[in-house]
Amino acid sequence: MTLGRRKLLAALATVPAALALGGARKEPKPKDPPEPRKSRKRKGAKAPQSHVDVAVVGAGALGAWTAWHLVRQGKSVRLFDAYGAGNGRAASNLPSMMLDPVQGGDALYASLVSDSYAAWQRLSDTASLPILTACQALTTLTATDSIAAARDVDRESGDKLKNRFTQIAWHPGEAALVAEKAAMLAGRRGVLETLLDGQIEPEAVVMPAPLRDKRSDLYVLPDGGTAGSIVYACGAWLTELFPQLLTPQRLSAVRHNVFHFGPGQGDLQYRPPAMPAFVDRAYGFTLLPDIEGEGVRCWRSAGDASVDPDSFDRRADERALTDVRLWLAGRLPRIGTAPIVASAAVHDCRTVTGDLLLDRLPEHPRAWVVGGAAGRAFSLAPAIGARVAAHVADASRPLEPRWALARLTGGAV
């Protein structure tokens, strides 16, 4: 039986248009809305092991990465921090830090950049929120600067850069080193993620100077536990722990005033990739791009006073703000008039040589001390932590002479 033309048209009219045209398109099934995250019961702290291979003191960036590498070596580790990991007094607690391949032209520190970059990148790729944000870094050069450009760093004239970085005012005849592969790192969150990744549970304990039981040749911990080796990564508190050895003249907490200037709504020119990290060597200021809406962070690179890291007042002071605004007016005038969204006085740990300290404590073949390297220890902590862990594993490994305790004490240890 054949359908008449009229009947056929009437039948087709009841079929949805898409089918009638031969395109049997499947309507996408509406997606289920995302489920809220499942509640994850936090486990109570495990009872500490009575004996561990290594006790690490200080859960800032250096202590966290040292512990992380030791755990990766298969060592049992306990990590102690007097105020707890990610505490508000630690130097590692800043919201963001720069990983700068230029390292002021110092080849020793530049050699630690690529391993550190890879470690932070891996951590960032596996964390719930980013830890590393790629950016460029510019370092202006003074007329007398003879900094050697490191790998992947180019020297460019201000004339060329002014078209690329229009936020910055370039002076005639100026030049800068441009690192394409720099990064901004999350400070506090970076430390906490390192510990989570290493499954290390820090204990809030104030540790004293090392106490060795001569009979067992082990270090005795405050709760009666023991450790085969001990690493002090206590930043500026090393002076408090070892007052005779690390006098304030040799190692100190240096105060900086930091100001965050808030760009306007939707303004992306102060965020990576448009905005680089900017080290203005000629004027002694550093400016970091806006990450996560924290504002553009700016401070004078030379600290203004030595302080006690336990008790100094962490409010920024007005005089320092005047200096920063004056510099911004000449260099980044548009952000110089922006409101301040955060400010603080913070400290860094500086040795008299400006170098890192990584050595054994005198008369303690298995007690180590690490700290200093002001302005760069956070970003290079993965590579420095690997070195510390390697020394702990193999005490005969040669020490870096520039990081020796004797360089601070003039040999008197």
Ligand X SMILES: Cc1cc2nc3c(=O)[nH]c(=O)nc-3n(C[C@H](O)[C@H](O)[C@H](O)COP(=O)(O)OP(=O)(O)OC[C@H]3O[C@@H](n4cnc5c(N)ncnc54)[C@H](O)[C@@H]3O)c2cc1C
Interacting residues toward ligand X by CB under 6 A: 57-63, 80-83, 87, 90-92, 94, 97-98, 206-207, 233-235, 237, 241, 256, 258, 299, 346-349, 371, 374-379
Q: How far is the CB of 39 from ligand X (least distance, A)?
A: 30
Q: How far is the CB of 36 from ligand X (least distance, A)?
A: 33
Give the residue closest to ligand X by C-beta: 60
State in angstroms the smallest separation of the CB of 37 from ligand X: 29
* Integer Rg of the chain from CA: 27
- Asked if 177 and 147 touch (Cβ cutoff 8 Å), the reply is yes
Whose Cβ is closer to ligand X: residue 186's or residue 207's?
207
Query: Rounded to whole angstroms, what are the CA distances from 26 to 15, 33, 258?
Result: 15, 20, 57
Buried b (16+ CB within 10 A) or exposed e, 163-172: eebebbbbee
* Nearest distance in Å: CB 389, ligand X: 15
Q: Which of 219, 299 has the CB closer to ligand X?
A: 299
Give bridge partners of residue 179 from the DSSP assignment.
137, 153
Minimum distance of ligand X from residue 18's CB (angstroms): 58
Whole-angstrom distance, CA of residue 348 vs CA of residue 106: 19
The dihedrals phi and psi of 119, each to the nearest 5 degrees, come to -65, -45
> Smallest gap, in angstroms, from Cβ of residue 390 to ligand X?
18
Residue 303 CB, nearest approach to ligand X (Å): 7
Identity of the residue, 218 or 345, whose beta carbon is nearer to ligand X in the bound complex: 345
Tokens of 33: 């809305």
* Shortest Å, Cβ 388 to ligand X: 11
Q: Are the C-beta atoms of 288 and 303 separated by less than 8 Å?
A: no
User: Which C-beta is closer to ligand X: that of 87 or that of 247?
Assistant: 87
- Extract the tokens encoding 93: 């607690």
Closer CB to ligand X, residue 218 or residue 288? 288
Least Å distance, CB 152 to ligand X, is 18
Q: Is the dihedral of CA 387, 402, 231, 54 positive or negative?
A: positive
In 3D space, the residue among 188, 339, 342 whose CA is nearest the CA of residue 267 turns out to be 339
Planar angle of CA 304, 310, 312, nearest 5 degrees: 40
Nearest distance, CB of residue 252 and ligand X, angstroms: 12
Task: Give 61 or 383: the residue with its C-beta nearer to ligand X.
Answer: 61
Closest C-alpha to 253, from 208, 187, 206, 305: 305
**Is 166 or 322 the residue whose CB approaches ligand X more closely?**
322
Exposed, middle or buried: residue 88 (CB in 10 Å: 0-12, 13-18, 19+)? exposed
Residue type, position 180, single letter = E
Q: Which of 11, 206 has the CB closer to ligand X?
A: 206
Residue closer to ligand X (CB basis): 83 or 312? 83
Output 184 or 218, the one with its CB closest to ligand X.
184
Contact 63, 381 (CB under 8 A): no
Using an 8 Å Cβ cutoff, are 85 and 191 in contact? Answer: yes
Phi and psi, residue 386, nearest 5°: -65, -40
* 92: Cβ contacts below 8 Å, ≥ 6 apart: 60, 61, 64, 86, 187, 188, 190, 191, 235, 378
> Could you say which DSSP state residue 252 is in?
E
Tokens describing residue 121: 């990148």
For ligand X, give the closer residue by CB, 235 or 263. Answer: 235
Least distance CB 241 / ligand X (angstroms): 6
Which is nearest to 168 in space by CA: 283, 259, 264? Answer: 283
